[in-house]
């Protein structure tokens, strides 16, 4: 080992209660070209980690008051470490200590007295491992975003033009469109075409999160010396994607507005301001102007976020995209499930193209998956498409046949209608009860009670 190694001035945090060891490790690592900070106990370790954001931590197990295993456990449980490797060091090393540390997520375990050679080798390999994980994460991210945007229709070409124009800017973006229309993909494409594309694309899905946990998820928290990073810090330098932003309660809206205006924020329970360095992209399947008019969404926040609006067209508005989309989804489902690519008959393809797709792209993907799994490489014909669509095609072409419950009493008919109605819409949102509540206009607690009374299991719709 020598100082000619390319360390890119990576930062290492040394945590040890013995001053002599801290000083020796500091000098050795600094001579190797690293930036080094030190801490003598658990509390200092947390402070230094939070402020310095080191690339690797050397953490002593045996310390007064609180040991290194407890510090590591807290970092892991609060999802603070990320890809930062931790090398545990101990003067009283046992197999049990090593096993516990590795189970918690430690990269390596070294015993005192420390061998300089082993120390530097462990540090170098830990940093290389973290670098490889980061590169793999970015590669997977780029592959994920590499889904093509089909643009054979005029509305799709216009959407793509907007993405190409605003991608290179750093403006905040407000994306609207029906549920399942592809707003998430549009947000990814905006990020992919931006100067922040090599940084994180971090998501916060409000439709799948209790409202009382959103503020902590956004801003993070500090309590009893423990720090939990929120999405803003996780997305630093990159893009924060907030799905179904109309789901924010008013208190969190005001906090978000303040953070966007001041370009800084406080963690919940914290007293030090943190710089806001993210691009914000939000979406909704609702009507934001209506939410503002009804007093459910802050007008100031709406105009702060709505710098560049994008309307994603429904799938029925871009029917020319359907043939290529169908072929793309067939190939994707077949590849992921190791299935043979089936032949789709002309009348089956025409039926898929003519269908209005009320659930948009998400419904199309689900139907294609259902068709391939049920047929498993066989020819897909019109009968198979009708079956997968649940008879919706026939309902468009034939006079409606009254359901059996029309012959019963009104209470029974009402119950059967509600069951059919909620089951249909539950399938459209893939079992997400929060989205279902918004879709049918019921308060969530009341909706849960009704689903239970009607014996409807949301999990069956996923």
**What does the pLDDT look like over 260-292, one tens digit per residue?**
999 999 999 988 899 999 999 999 999 999 999
| Model confidence pLDDT, tens digit, residues 361-392 | 989 988 998 888 887 667 888 888 888 887 55
- Average pLDDT along the chain: 84
Which pLDDT band holds residue 92 (cuts at 50, 70, 90)? low
Is pLDDT at 218 greater than 90 in this prediction?
yes
Do 238 and 199 meet the contact criterion of CB atoms below 8 Å apart?
Answer: yes
Q: What percent of the chain has pLDDT over 90?
A: 37
Residue with tokens 């889904």: 147
Mean pLDDT of 128-141: 66
pLDDT band at residue 422 using 50, 70 and 90 as cut-offs: confident
* Distance (Å, whole) CA 66 – CA 77: 16
Quick one: average pLDDT of 412-418?
A: 78
- Residue 379 is predicted with a pLDDT of 86
Q: In this predicted model, what pLDDT tens digit does every residue of 322-365 receive, in sequence order?
A: 999 999 889 888 888 888 888 899 999 999 999 999 989 989 98
- Report whether pLDDT(53) > 90: no
How much is the pLDDT for 402? 55
Q: Which of 140, 147, 141, 187 is nearest to 166 (CA)?
A: 187
- Contact status, residue 434 vs residue 246, Cβ threshold 8 Å: no
Residue given tokens 């101990």 in the structure block: 90
What integer pLDDT is reported at residue 300 of this predicted model?
95
**What token pair was written down for 254?**
């005001």
Distance CA 175, CA 162 (A): 11
Tokens for 373?
């799994």
For residues 183 and 189, give the distance between their C-alpha atoms in angstroms, rounded to a whole number.
10
Contact 32, 63 (CB under 8 A): no
Q: What is the mean pLDDT of residues 115-124?
A: 90
> Given this model, what pLDDT does residue 93 score?
57
Calculate mean pLDDT across residues 123-145.
67
What domains does the chain contain, in order, with CATH numbers?
A: 11-140 (3.40.50.2300), 149-311 (3.40.50.300), 315-397 (1.10.8.60), 404-461 (1.10.10)
Q: What is the pLDDT of residue 279?
A: 95
Mean pLDDT computed over 150-169: 87
Predicted confidence band at 25 (pLDDT cuts at 50, 70, 90)?
very high
pTM: 0.59
Please, which pLDDT band fits residue 137 given cuts at 50, 70 and 90?
Answer: low
Backbone φ, ψ for residue 461 (5° rounding): -90, -5
Asked if residue 48 lies in contact with residue 72, where contact means CB atoms within 8 angstroms, the answer is: no
Higher pLDDT among residues 139 and 304, named by residue: 304
Q: Are 213 and 258 in contact (CB under 8 A)?
A: no
| pLDDT confidence tier of residue 148, bands split at 50, 70 and 90 | low
Higher pLDDT: 240 or 4? It is 240
| Predicted local distance difference test score (pLDDT) of residue 96 | 72
Q: What pLDDT shows up at residue 190?
A: 93
Mean pLDDT to the nearest integer, 295-311: 93
CA distance 334 to 64: 58
């Amino acid at each position: 080992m020598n100082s000619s190694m390319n360390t890119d001035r990576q930062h290492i945090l040394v945590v040890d209660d013995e001053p002599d060891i801290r000083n020796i490790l500091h000098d050795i690592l600094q001579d190797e070209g690293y930036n080094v900070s030190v801490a003598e106990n658990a509390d200092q370790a947390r402070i230094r980690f939070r402020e310095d954001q080191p690339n690797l931590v050397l953490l002593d197990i045996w310390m007064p008051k609180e040991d290194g295993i407890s510090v590591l456990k807290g970092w892991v449980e609060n999802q603070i470490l990320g890809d930062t490797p931790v090398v545990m060091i101990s003067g009283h090393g046992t197999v049990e200590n090593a096993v516990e540390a590795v189970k918690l997520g430690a990269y390596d375990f070294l015993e005192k007295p420390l061998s300089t050679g082993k120390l530097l080798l462990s540090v170098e390999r830990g940093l290389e491992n973290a670098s490889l994980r980061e590169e793999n994460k970015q590669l997977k991210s780029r592959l994920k975003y590499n889904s093509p945007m089909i643009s054979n229709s005029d509305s799709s070409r216009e959407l793509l033009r907007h993405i190409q124009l605003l991608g290179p800017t750093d403006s905040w973006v407000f994306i609207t469109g029906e549920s399942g229309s592809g707003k998430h993909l549009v947000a990814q494409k905006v990020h992919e075409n931006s100067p922040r594309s090599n940084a994180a694309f971090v998501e916060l899905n409000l439709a799948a999160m209790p409202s009382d946990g959103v503020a902590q998820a956004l801003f993070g928290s500090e309590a009893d010396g423990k720090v939990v990073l929120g999405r803003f810090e996780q997305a630093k330098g990159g893009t924060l994607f907030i799905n179904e932003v109309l789901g924010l309660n008013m208190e969190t809206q005001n906090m978000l507005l303040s953070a966007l205006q001041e370009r800084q924020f406080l963690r919940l329970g914290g007293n030090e301001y943190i710089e806001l360095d993210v691009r914000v992209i939000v979406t909704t399947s609702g009507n934001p102007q209506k939410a503002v008019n009804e007093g459910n969404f802050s007008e100031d926040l709406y105009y702060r976020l709505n710098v560049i609006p994008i309307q994603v067209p429904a799938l029925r508005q871009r029917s020319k995209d359907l043939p290529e989309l169908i072929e793309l989804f067939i190939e994707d489902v077949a590849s992921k499930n190791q299935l043979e690519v089936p032949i789709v008959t002309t009348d089956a393809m025409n039926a898929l193209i003519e269908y209005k797709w009320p659930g948009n792209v998400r419904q199309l993907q689900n139907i294609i998956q259902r068709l391939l799994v049920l047929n498993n490489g066989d020819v897909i014909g019109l009968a198979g498409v009708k079956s997968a669509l649940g008879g919706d095609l026939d309902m468009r072409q034939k006079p409606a046949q009254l359901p059996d419950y029309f012959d019963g009493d009104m209470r029974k008919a009402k119950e059967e209608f509600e069951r059919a109605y909620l089951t249909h819409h539950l399938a459209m949102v893939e079992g997400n009860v929060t989205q279902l509540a918004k879709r049918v206009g019921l308060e969530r607690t009341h909706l849960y009670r009704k689903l239970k009374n009607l014996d409807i299991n949301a999990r069956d719709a996923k």
